[in-house]
Amino acid sequence: MMVTRPKLAAAAVTAVAALALTGCSGGDSDRAATAIDSTPVAATGSLEQLANKAGCKPIMQIDADELRQAACKTTTYGKFLLLTYATDRGQREWINGAKDYGGFYLLGRKWTAVGDQKVIAKLQGKLGGTTEVGADHHAGASGEATHSAGHDG
């Protein structure tokens, strides 16, 4: 049986969550368990169901078999993109490519929300899920774009 990276990542997340919830004592571990407990279980459903849960009327941008994408704007959360995928692998491939461009991502099972850091933090309180951050792109002193991974050439 071949173990893929997404399976390893899922196993690692499960292991960390289990350790945090096993009743370890101490200030930091208690705060970590509280933070995990306060994040809702990741929402599931169609793009329309997820958008409705976030209080958004989705404006469809892509409606393909493997990927659906809509723009959302709410007074509660602000502007964000909401994507759903046909497969877990499709989601991981999309997020791996998108993270090269920077940004903040909220991931549930077969869905992703994309927005600025504050929007994603607020949405996580409603939709649950885990956050990921893309490459750190910023202008250097000379005005050239750089990012934390670094490139020679």
Supply φ then ψ for residue 61, to 5 degrees: -115, -40
Nearest-angstrom CA–CA distance, 3 and 116: 33
- Spatial neighbors of 88 by CB under 8 A, at least 6 apart, are 6, 109, 110
pLDDT at residue 145 above 70? no
* pLDDT per position as a tens digit, 54-94: 999 999 999 999 999 999 999 999 999 999 999 999 999 99
| 42-136: in CATH 3.40.50 | no
Strands 104-108 vs 130-133: parallel, antiparallel or unpaired:
antiparallel
Say if pTM beats, i.e. exceeds, 0.85: no
* pLDDT per position as a tens digit, 103-127: 999 999 999 999 999 999 999 999 9
Cβ atoms of residues 112 and 26 within 8 Å: no
Domain ranges of the chain: 1-38, 42-136
Q: How many CA atoms does the CB half-sphere of 100 hold within 13 Å?
A: 5
* pLDDT per position as a tens digit, 12-23: 333 333 323 333
Strands 111-115 vs 78-85: parallel, antiparallel or unpaired:
antiparallel
Nearest-angstrom CA–CA distance, 20 and 31: 9
**Between 32 and 104, whose confidence is greater?**
104
Largest CA distance in the chain: 51
Amino acid at 102: G
